Amino acid sequence: MSVEDGFSIGVLAARTGVTPTQLRTWENRFGFPAGERSPSGHRRFSDSDVELVRQVLEVRASGVPLQAAIASVSQRRAHVGADSVHAALVERFPDLRPQRFGRRALVAASYAIEDEALSRADRPVVLGAFQRGHNYAGSRHRWDELARTASWSAVLADFDGQPTGPEADPGASPARCQLPLDSPMRREWTVVTLTPARGAVLAAWEVPSRPGDARTFESVVSTHRPVVLAAARVIADVAAAAGATVPDHVEQLLDEHLPQPAASAVDSDRMWLRALALMDPEA
């Protein structure tokens, strides 16, 4: 739809149930809804503006203040299209310091995050990226158990053309979501667990290596909740684009503008001690 094909604020008001005066107040105070200026200088709106206003009304109905509801919907829209967890985290959190690890260290960190989620039995959201379908197949027994006790779970991988692994099935549990051919997540290894009280993420991309060299990954590991939420948001959006249905309670959990609990040092200690134990050859 071109700017000329858009409609007036009066039509936007009629389609959303918000008065033109209220919409103008929102625009003056918060720059929302933005719309576009036509060549004649008039503000014109589109179907996407209708949907955004309706989303704000839905968030407000849960008791969220107007400014926070608008910020939440705007942030959610800005995230749409992100297709690399590691790149999103490095861009949004420049203080994170990626480290290069081998496969053994990443397996230990992944298992520690997963085992801590299982031990808590608090119905986490569990999300993962596995590069190829046969990589997921090797951990399927663990993820079947994670999905059994999770409130929702999804995994991303190249499932097509992987004869030794399961096929993509966004309706399964966990939802198995096919990555597009050009997705940078085809070289990423990610594990995310998230509950209303705690969360953790491992996000890594595989550094190109010569044949015969050990596999190396540039990795970010964190229990800082904003980092966990950002990672989960990317995976949820990619899963939705692949056909998975992200439950409403997960969308609410991923809302960065709702009040968030402070990170617990004790929770972090438990997880990293698990990782160290898994790396101890005498354990």
pLDDT digits (tens, 9 = 90+) for 71-114: 877 766 655 446 899 888 888 888 888 888 999 999 999 999 99
The string of pLDDT tens digits covering residues 239-251 is 998 999 999 999 9
Question: In this structure, are 100 and 73 located in the same domain?
Answer: no
Last residue of a domain, one of 63, 79, 95: 79
Residue 240 backbone zone (phi > 0: left; psi -120 to 50: alpha; other: beta): alpha
pLDDT at 87: 87
Question: In this structure, are 71 and 105 located in the same domain?
Answer: no
pLDDT at 283: 53
Ranges 112-121, 146-155, 157-166, 176-185: which has the least confidence: 157-166
For the chain, the domain total comes to: 2
Distance, CA of 64 to CA of 158 (rounded, Å): 39
Question: In this structure, are 226 and 250 located in the same domain?
Answer: yes
Instruction: Record the tokens describing residue 130, joined without a space.
Output: 């596995």
Question: In this structure, are 32 and 111 located in the same domain?
Answer: no
The domain containing residue 70 runs over which residues?
Answer: 3-79
Question: In this structure, are 245 and 215 located in the same domain?
Answer: yes
Q: What is the mean pLDDT of residues 111-121?
A: 92
Q: What is the mean pLDDT of residues 114-134?
A: 93
**Residue 2 pLDDT more than 50?**
no
Q: Is 242 helix (H, G, I), strand (E, B) or coil?
A: coil
Question: In this structure, are 175 and 35 located in the same domain?
Answer: no
Question: In this structure, are 36 and 160 located in the same domain?
Answer: no
The string of pLDDT tens digits covering residues 190-232 is 999 999 999 999 999 998 878 888 889 999 999 999 999 999 9
Question: In this structure, are 21 and 35 located in the same domain?
Answer: yes
Distance, CA of 186 to CA of 10 (rounded, Å): 46
Question: In this structure, are 108 and 220 located in the same domain?
Answer: yes
User: Strand 43-44 relative to strand 99-102: parallel, antiparallel, unpaired?
Assistant: unpaired
Query: Whole-number mean pLDDT of the chain?
Result: 86
Q: What is the mean pLDDT of residues 131-142?
A: 92
Last residue of a domain, one of 48, 79, 110: 79
Question: In this structure, are 18 and 97 located in the same domain?
Answer: no
In Å, what is the CA distance from 253 to each residue of 57, 66, 155, 224?
Answer: 18, 18, 18, 15
Distance, CA of 208 to CA of 214 (rounded, Å): 10
Question: In this structure, are 222 and 104 located in the same domain?
Answer: yes
Residue 161 backbone zone (phi > 0: left; psi -120 to 50: alpha; other: beta): left
CATH code, 51: 1.10.1660.10
The string of pLDDT tens digits covering residues 27-83 is 888 888 888 877 777 788 888 788 888 888 988 887 778 888 888 777 666 554 468
CATH code, 207: 3.30.870
Considering Cα of 35, then 10, then 68, then 194, what sign does the dihedral take?
negative
Question: In this structure, are 113 and 37 located in the same domain?
Answer: no
Ranges 125-139, 181-195, 207-221: which has the least confidence: 207-221
Last residue of a domain, one of 19, 44, 79: 79
Distance, CA of 92 to CA of 261 (rounded, Å): 20
